[in-house]
Structure 1
Amino acid sequence: METYTVAEAVARIGVLAQRDTTVPFLLGMVGPPGAGKSTFVEQLAAPILPMDGYHFANEHLDRLGLRSRKGAPDTFDAAGFASTLRRLRAGDTVVAPRFDRDLDASIAGSILLPGDAPLIVTEGNYLLHDQDGWGAIRPLLDEVWYLDIDDDLRRDRLIARHRRYGRSATDAARWVADVDEPNAVLIRTTRDRADAVVTAT
């Protein structure tokens, strides 16, 4: 398994983005909630497919009785995510959904992903998970990198994020402890399946 600093990872991605190919190289960036995946990929000169766009709508989570666990593996449309990745592997241009944190909802038809892009980066929590339909994802990606970060810093970031989107300090801390942390523990068990680890600060 390779180990990269953030600067080394960005340089490696720059090389991948210069590939001469007819179909995209699909690179996955995985890590627990609050690791900084979105922040990391936003600095890259490549189209980005966020896994969060495949959140089930709150109405459907209410039907399933899962809204209090939103963010767990079974609260996403893993099959829909896999379908998008298959189309990208085939060289199709796709317009994918994105997740709007202000609305707490996915917005369909938002992100243009050109089928002839040399590199497309997808980021999310469960790219290496092998249950709840997620086992279909890893075979569709050329490489998956795990973003590693200090857990105390990660939890502090999560609490701050939840507070930015309207939760009280108490509710934010409770959500991190009851929802985000069990997910983080699960995601950490997939670390050894990654092709590389990126050490963040």
Structure 2
Amino acid sequence: MDEQVTRLVDKAWGRFQQIPEDRRFLIAIGGIPGSGKTTLSQKVATALNARHATLHPETPVTETASVAAFVPMDGYHLTRAQLSAMPDPAHAHARRGAEFTFDGAAFLRLVRALRVPLSSETKPVLAPSFDHAVKDPKPDDIAVLPGHRVVVFEGNYVCLDREPWREAAALMDERWFVDVGFATARRRLVARHVRAGIAADEDDAGRRADENDLVNGEEIVKNRVPVDEVVVSMDDETWRHE
């Protein structure tokens, strides 16, 4: 994994150096559930910040001085209350994680806001996170600051060829897709669901993976916009999702 990360960071940094100072450099990293896209996204954002800190030692190492922000798509889950208000609440809750259970329009508004040219008047742009304790989004919990000139997005649908995701993807400077075998993804998902308490045991976790996560995965793979990079997810500990 490290060699892939190094190459991608080198590429992203090189491209970032070419953009005007009043623009942000946006990277979307998509993939199916269990692909390791979150791990990759965090490593890329961390590496970009480390490189910036090395090249600018005069700048204090703080969040406000970071050049890259990491924005996962999880905060755009519809709330449990919104799912309960759907015509078939039981189906909506069972399929939570499917494309229709996300607020794609709100995600597009975020990306558009980050495409507005930077100026002395630029304010922080706020995005939601996902609170796993209450199992719902937490509004305005992630701040993309004016100094965040690189934004790394991650999520199942950031490269989906369907509106409004398609328009959001078109606004990115780089689109990367993490490729993984479904058997590897299933094994990771089963372990994750049991570890997180989402499933009672491995059998329950396997059913959840087969009936929801991997169904979503099929849609993600079959309906993908053109991407700039296909990153192979290695089946080793460095790709293990926490």
Within a 5 Å distance, the mapping from 1:38-187 to structure 2 comes to: 38-43=38-43, 44=45, 45=49, 46-64=68-86, 65=89, 66-90=92-116, 91=118, 92=122, 93-131=124-162, 133-166=164-197, 167-168=199-200, 169-187=202-220
Cα separation, 2, equivalents of 1:33 and 1:158: 7
Contact 1:24 1:115 in 2 (8 A): no
Q: Is the 8 A contact 2:74 2:155 kept in 1?
A: yes
Number of the residue aligned with 2:57: none
Q: Distance in 1 between matches of 2:230 and 2:32?
A: 13
TM-score by length of 1: 0.89
Larger radius of gyration between Structure 1 and Structure 2? 2
Query: Is the Cα–Cα contact under 8 Å of residues 31 and 125 in structure 1 kept in the other structure?
Result: yes
Count the aligned residue pairs. Answer: 198
TM-score scaled by length of structure 2? 0.75
After TM superposition, the structure 1 stretch with the greater mean CA deviation from structure 2, 190-199 or 25-34, is 190-199
What do the CA deviations read for 1:7-62 (whole angstroms, capped 9, x no partner)?
31133234345556222111100100011111111122320111111000011111
In structure 2, what is the equivalent of residue 34 of structure 1? 34
Q: Distance in 2 between matches of 1:69 and 1:163?
A: 18
Which residue pairs with 1:11 in the alignment?
10
The AA in structure 2 aligned to 1:150 is G
2:29, 2:159 within 8 Å by CA — same for their partners in 1?
Answer: no
Kept after mapping to 1: 8 A contact 2:161/2:224: no
- How far did residue 191 of structure 1 move? 4.4
Long gaps (5+) in structure 2: 50-67, 235-242
Q: Distance in 2 between matches of 1:94 and 1:148?
A: 30
Q: Aligned equivalents of 2:69 and 2:16: distance in 1?
A: 10
Deviations 1:80-135 (CA, angstroms, capped at 9, x unpaired): 00001111000453111111233321111111112342211111111222336323
Report the identity percentage: 33
Distance in structure 2 (CA, Å) of the matches to 1:29 and 1:173 = 25
1:152-174: CA deviation from partner (whole Å, max 9, x where unpaired): 22211111111112112222111
* Gap runs ≥5 in structure 1: none
Pairwise CA RMSD: 2.0
Q: Would you say the 8 A contact 1:48–1:122 is kept in 2?
A: yes
Residue 193 (structure 1) aligns with: 226
Greater share of residues in strand: 1
Distance 1:94 1:192, change over 3 A: closer
Q: Which amino acid aligns with 1:178?
A: E
